[in-house]
Chains A and B, each alone.
Chain A
Amino acid sequence: MIQFEYTITDPLGIHARPAAELVKTATAYRSSISIQYRDKEISAKKMIALMSLGLKQSDKIKLSIQGEDEIEAAEELKHFLQEKL
């Protein structure tokens, strides 16, 4: 399992379009990918669950990635977050 933290820098936070893009990135991998924020943990492959976190700028999330392609998935997700969020 690979875990890492990320702090949202986008001033608009995770609204509908970035949520869809993040889900699209996550669903391309077979690994299970979860996002933890405060006391909630959701699947990064579920758009509604992701949007329900209401993530905003400066919020810190923790990603946990587990599965056969976890290394590639973690790299791609880190890249996506840094570029887009």
Chain B
Amino acid sequence: MFGFGKTIEILSPLEGKTLPLSECGDEAFAGEMLGKGLAILPSKGLVVAPFDAKVEVLFDTAHALSLLSEDGLEFLIHIGIDTVKLKGRHFKALVQQGAEVKAGDPLIEFDPQAIQQEGYSIIVPMVVCNSADYVRIESFPGRNIRPLDKVILRLRKK
């Protein structure tokens, strides 16, 4: 097995259940247009940092953010489907774009019930935006997870 790069494991940033990305209900994510990953159906409205990172992107609407790890991993967490249209309603950013965060730091709070009441899915697709930098990206759907308690994605660097 020599000749491969480093293995990286990503822990869960939410409480809920993991699903295959193909079941997230959004064509762009399901078709891996934004990268490989998986989805979580959240049971609580809090996203924490799954690893030490810099918050590279945090939209004003606080419905999505992207983290950059020290290893160069670019990880996008998108809360709900089409929720950009809520223009920030039911989302609250707890950090700012550019912030350095540690694993477990709270990043975004959201109100799953209110989002669903407005007719939006609360499924959280999560993707590795620089998927091309990895030879293998393994996901673990069908797991009940709490923040940082289980591995949801395992990556092997080129």
Interface residues of A (CB under 8 A from B): 12, 15-17, 20-21, 24, 47-48, 51-52, 54, 56
Q: Give the residue name and chain of the A residue nearest to B75 (CB).
A: A48
Expressed in whole angstroms, the minimum distance between the Cβ of A39 and any Cβ of chain B is 15
Q: Contact between A48 and B74 (Cβ–Cβ < 8 Å)?
A: yes
Q: Which of B28, B33, B85, B130 contacts A12 (CB 8 A)?
A: B85
Q: Give the residue name and chain of the A residue nearest to B27 (CB).
A: A17
- The interface size of chain B toward A, counting residues with CB under 8 Å, comes to 21
Report how far A79 CA is from B130 CA in the complex, Å: 26
Q: Contact between A16 and B34 (Cβ–Cβ < 8 Å)?
A: yes
Expressed in whole angstroms, the minimum distance between the Cβ of B84 and any Cβ of chain A is 4
Describe A's contact surface by its main secondary structure: helix
Q: Contact between B56 and A48 (Cβ–Cβ < 8 Å)?
A: yes
Report how far A64 CA is from B15 CA in the complex, Å: 43
Q: Contact between B60 and A54 (Cβ–Cβ < 8 Å)?
A: yes
Q: Which of B26, B34, B68, B97 contacts A47 (CB 8 A)?
A: B34
Q: Which of A20, A48, A51, A52 contacts B28 (CB 8 A)?
A: A20
Expressed in whole angstroms, the minimum distance between the Cβ of B133 and any Cβ of chain A is 12
Q: Contact between A20 and B33 (Cβ–Cβ < 8 Å)?
A: yes
Report how far A17 CA is from B33 CA in the complex, Å: 9
Whether a CB of chain A sits under 8 angstroms from the CB of B8 is no
